[in-house]
Amino acid sequence: MMRIMGLQKLTLLDYPDKIACTVFLGGCNFRCPFCHNSSLIGMGDGEGEVSLDELMSFLKKRVGTLDGVAITGGEPLINDDIETLLRSIKELGFSIKLDTNGSFPSRLKYLVENGLVDYVAMDIKNSLPKYALTCGKKVMDLSGITESINYLLKGNVPYEFRTTVVKELHEAADFEQIGKLIAGADAYYLQSFIDSGDILCDGFSAYDTDELRFFRSLLVKYVPNTHLRGV
Distance CA 91, CA 105 (A): 24
Q: What is the structure's pLDDT at 46?
A: 62
Of the two residues 209 and 43, the one the predictor is more confident about is 209
- Distance from C-alpha of 135 to C-alpha of 201, rounded to nearest angstrom: 12
In tens, the pLDDT along 116-165 reads 999 999 999 999 999 999 999 999 999 999 999 999 999 999 999 999 99
**E strand or H helix at 210:** helix 209-219
Q: How many helices (H) and strands (E) does the chain have?
A: 7, 8
Beta bridge partners of 72: 24
Q: What is the distance between the alpha carbons of residues 206 and 192, in angstroms, rounded to a whole number?
A: 6
What pLDDT does 199 receive?
81
pLDDT at residue 105 in the model: 98
**pLDDT of residue 54 exceeding 80:** yes
- Spell out the domains of the chain, with CATH numbers in brackets: 4-165 (3.20.20.70)
pTM of the predicted model as reported, rounded to 2 decimal places: 0.95
pLDDT in tens, 180-198: 999 999 999 999 998 877 7
- 24-52 tens-digit pLDDT: 999 999 999 998 777 787 655 566 799 99
- How far is it, in rounded angstroms, from Cα 110 to Cα 99? 15
What does the chain come to in residues? 231
